[in-house]
Amino acid sequence: MNSNKIKAFFVGLLVLGLSVFPCLYAQETEEQTELPEVVIKDTTGKFEVGVYYGRWTLSPIISSFEQDIVEALGEEIRDAITAQAPVPVVPTTYEETFNISSGGPNYGIEVRFYPQGRSGSFSFGFSLDKVTMRVAADEGYVRQDYLGGAYAEAEGTGEIVFKPLFTTLSFRWDFMPAWRVTPYYVMGLGVAALDMENVDKNYASYEYDGEFRWTSFTQQVSGAETKSLQQLEEEGDTNIPNIIPLLWLGLGIRANITPNLVIKGEANFWDGFVLRLGIAGRF
């Protein structure tokens, strides 16, 4: 190959390179000027205000302390019956049976704040919860035997009732905040003060009706009594706390009816157990 052909070959390469280089430069420039995709978060709907109603119960765990309730109530009724005996008596053996139940309404109002708006899963809330914690002994039977063959039998009932107002701080995580229906998890702590003297709010009561029998002698025995927490504390020589702490752990489902209207259902461990439904507005 002579020198002229070699020169012509390299000149051709140079011309080709100069023609391609502007195209590559233009393509590189175009790629650098592309705008990245921007994800816009919905920061509206940071506040949620709602109300709810449900039922409180101890039923799943009441068997663990049912016997203590039966014994305490039975002792109260037996002492009251013995005090009505027409002759001096000495108690001996006894028998008592009661069916124990629990339950009461729970309702409240709640304000929640979502720091990241509708796009965020985390929220914290402040709520006021009114609850009736009632443990009752129904369809009860008490028998007290005495020396000498005398005995008394009576049917009775009783209940212990607390009606606290809890102030609660809670934290909630919605699993899928963008979904129309999503499960969520909630945990919280609260506190309530008990009025120790007000028998309309917090009390223990019982009533009974039966007979005292000795040979052929029979006498009607009946009575009823309601005691405040302070009276129970003084008579039992025990300390009843006037502050109730609250531990709240729960699972729920939230459904968006509209962007600004939400309904919820919850199952909670709540110083016992609470099932409740609620409705809330979000803005």
pTM listed for this prediction: 0.80
On the question of pLDDT at 78 being above 90, the answer is: yes
Q: pLDDT-based confidence at 39, cuts 50/70/90?
A: very low
Q: Which fold has domain 42-282?
A: Porin (2.40.160)
The better pLDDT of the pair 13, 113 is held by: 113
Residue 250, pLDDT score: 98
Q: pLDDT-based confidence at 10, cuts 50/70/90?
A: very low
CA nearest 202: which of 226, 167, 237, 238? Answer: 226
Residue 57 CA to residue 41 CA, distance in Å, equals 41
Domain coordinates of the chain in residue numbers?
1-38, 42-282
Q: Tell me: the pLDDT tens digits for 152-176?
A: 999 999 999 999 999 999 999 999 9
Q: Tell me: the pLDDT tens digits for 121-133?
A: 999 999 999 999 9
On the question of pLDDT at 32 being above 80, the answer is: no
Distances (CA, A) of 257 to 118, 156, 185, 260, 278: 14, 49, 20, 8, 13
Run of H or E residues at 125 = strand 122-131
Least confident of 21-35, 135-149, 180-194, 225-239: 21-35
Residue 39 tokens, joined: 């994800």
Residue 43, pLDDT score: 75
| Mean pLDDT, residues 222-228 | 95
| Mean pLDDT, residues 32-60 | 79
% residues pLDDT > 90 (the chain): 73
On the question of pLDDT at 84 being above 90, the answer is: yes
Residue 15, pLDDT score: 44
% residues pLDDT > 70 (the chain): 86
Residue 125, pLDDT score: 98
Least confident of 12-21, 74-83, 155-164: 12-21
Residue 79: helix, strand or coil by DSSP? helix
Residue 14, pLDDT score: 42
Task: Identify any residues that bridge with 134 across adjacent strands, giving them in sequence order.
Answer: 161
Residue 136 CA to residue 62 CA, distance in Å, equals 11
Q: Tell me: the pLDDT tens digits for 195-222?
A: 999 998 899 999 999 999 998 899 999 9
On the question of pLDDT at 117 being above 60, the answer is: yes
Contacts of 210 (CB under 8 A, 6+ apart): 81, 142, 152, 153, 154, 155, 156, 220, 221, 222
Are residues 161 and 226 in contact, defined by beta-carbon separation less than 8 angstroms?
no
| Mean pLDDT, residues 167-187 | 97
Residue 63, pLDDT score: 85
Q: Which of 36-50, 56-70, 259-273 has the highest mean pLDDT?
A: 259-273
